[in-house]
Structure 1
Amino acid sequence: MTRTTPTALWNDSADVEELTRSIGFGAVGATCNPVIAYATIKKHPETWVPRIRDIADRMPTAGESEIGWQSVKDMSVEAAKLLEPIFKKHHGRNGRLSIQTDPRLHRDAEALVAQAVEFSGLAENIIVKIPATKTGIEAMEEATYRGVSINATVSFTVPQAVAAGEAVESGLRRREAERLDVTTMGPVVTIMGGRLDDWLKKVVARDGIEIEPEYLEWGGVAALKRGHKVFRDRGYRSRILCAAYRNHLQWSELVGGDLVVSPPFAWQEKFNASGIEPVSKIDQPVDPKIIAALEQIPDFVRAHQVDGMIPDEFESFGATRVTLRQFLAADADLDALVRDVLVPNPLEN
């Protein structure tokens, strides 16, 4: 796929060990989020416990959250270094490392922009994730105008992706009007296909909707295919990015598109061992029978139609609330991990 199609592979982790191996598979970028960052730090205590202590020594007045976020920034800078040669080869379109803004800022556009600008300055090949809520989309336009390459995240639906794509275009046009460079910017817009499927399965169970179980594996794919077509037809300069993998369709059905697939490394190993030939399927529509069945679910219609929601509704969409809560919980978990390092429980060994 990485050699024969325009589809780009990014690794869904800033873990240096995994990213190094993924680059060997042809990866040309990496994404991350609070859940993944926390999991990486927890997975490697032999590395991160001493580093957290060192950060605390260097920042003697910093609280748990600030120390935790400094760990995430350090992790991101190190991973970005691995991608620098790819970044230069692709003139900024690939070779980027995603770092996500603090989910606790999701209601404050100005704070999101300020943090996006800060994170963008950590390395030349950083791309910054901002949630695709109404507030986040406002921040995307302004951050793009300020020269930040954006990765729209907490995004599950075509209307969210289109709103984010429009915001990025507006920011790029504002830069161009002032003769500011846009030639090395590399924005992407994520649709978390697997998380959309997760939500639709919950809705079906909650509402007692009868539908073939295998059809519920296609909702995210349908949204991704439609999003890609809309971006191509409208000439958006950002690319669709597929994240949150639950099945091989979220890879095999997207091959051939000028988009990014960003599976965790374990999924890359599964795909490579699957025997599935990566042939172009991006323009093959989802079976109309499957679409008709999925349209029994009102939230699928909202997710699949370009005008299925307005920005005021993005934050109340079920998958958005579930994911924001998970990201906020990961922030709290990282705080607790730092607390256990700095102030260990005297009753535990």
Structure 2
Amino acid sequence: MNQGYFHRLANQSLTRFWINNPTIEEAQKAIESGAISCTTNPTYTAKLLKQASENPQVMDIIDRVIRETKDNSQAAAEVQRQVIKRLLDVFRVLYKEKPGSQGFVSIQGDPYAEDDYENIIVEALADMKLGDNVIAKIPVTKAGLKAMEYLIGENVPIIATEVMGISQAVCACELYERVSHKKGVEPAFYVTHITGIFDEYLAKVAQEKQIEVAKDILWQAGTIVARKQYRILKERAPPPNIVT
């Protein structure tokens, strides 16, 4: 029986390992090491194009899609779906073992249209057609929350992403509780906290405004907020899942 670090962590705590933006080979190795699900970003396809092991397959997908789709935005979205579909196939075996709690692969829509809640909904519903283990990744913004309100009611699994502040996390959870109670559905729901980008932002502000802050303290800022977010959300009933 495999008892690597992430397997031991799963046995000894509620923490679970997700892999982010992997190649197919990395995804398979991650599962062997204890990963239960997978996240992707809008830059996922661009990343794979730089990988020698992935470039030929991704280029084949691009060539096929651009022959079939004339609109550039629609073509880009379809390429992303077809590239990620391969990950869905890899993680589906885990989903079948525990439907709704593992084996997910996230898809996030066009970041240039994330202020358009209707577009977020349309893309998320199109993504769902790829398989039952798709989970929509939606930013906690005004438009994103409006899209979530509809999608939660449609029983769509969601990762609430781009959370930098605790108020965003609380707002997303309150929305989920209200809609799920009203509609009588409880789709899988995860809340992120983006520690790294938050740290980078604070470092930039400190530099621009010439604020003296020790680097070893500044680098912990995102983690400190994430821990506070965890403490606050843990008190909710039921507590949401947190992805960091």
TM value normalised by structure 2: 0.89
Partner of 2:116: 108
Percent identical across equivalent pairs? 26
Q: Deviations over 1:32-88 (max 9, x none)?
A: 11123321234232222222112233x1x4233322221210122221121122223
CA contact (8 A) 1:117 1:146 kept: no
Partner of 2:214: 212
CA distance in 2, matches of 1:239, 1:4: 17
Q: Deviations over 1:186-226 (max 9, x none)?
A: 21111111111111111111111112110012111111111
Deviation at 1:174, TM superposition (A): 2.4
**Structure 1 unmatched ranges of 5 or more:** 243-349
Q: Which amino acid aligns with 2:91?
A: L
Secondary structure at 1:3's aligned position in 2? helix
Matches within 5 A, 1:182-331: 182=186, 185-242=187-244
Partner of 2:14: 6
Deviation at 1:130, TM superposition (A): 1.0
CA contact (8 A) 1:99 1:128 kept: yes
CA contact (8 A) 1:10 1:31 kept: yes
Matches within 5 A, 1:45-194: 45-57=55-67, 59=68, 61-176=69-184, 181-182=185-186, 185-194=187-196
CA contact (8 A) 2:234 2:240 kept: no
CA distance in 2, matches of 1:209, 1:42: 38
Give RMSD over aligned pairs.
Answer: 1.7
CA distance in 2, matches of 1:174, 1:112: 22
CA contact (8 A) 1:130 1:151 kept: yes
Secondary structure at 2:35's aligned position in 1? coil
Q: Deviations over 1:239-285 (max 9, x none)?
A: 1110xxxxxxxxxxxxxxxxxxxxxxxxxxxxxxxxxxxxxxxxxxx
Secondary structure at 1:72's aligned position in 2? helix
Which structure has more relative contact order (CA 8 Å, sep 6+)? It is 1
Alignment CA distance shift 1:148-1:203 (3 Å):
same
CA contact (8 A) 1:14 1:75 kept: no
Q: Which amino acid aligns with 1:224?
A: A
CA contact (8 A) 2:45 2:58 kept: no
- Name which of 33, 37, 46 aligns with 1:29: 37
CA contact (8 A) 2:77 2:109 kept: no
CA distance in 2, matches of 1:116, 1:14: 21
Alignment CA distance shift 1:76-1:174 (3 Å):
farther
Secondary structure at 1:220's aligned position in 2? helix
CA contact (8 A) 1:227 1:240 kept: no
Q: Which amino acid aligns with 2:220?
A: W
Q: Deviations over 1:13-41 (max 9, x none)?
A: 15222111111110000001112332123
Secondary structure at 1:148's aligned position in 2? coil
TM value normalised by structure 1: 0.63
Q: Which amino acid aligns with 1:196?
A: F
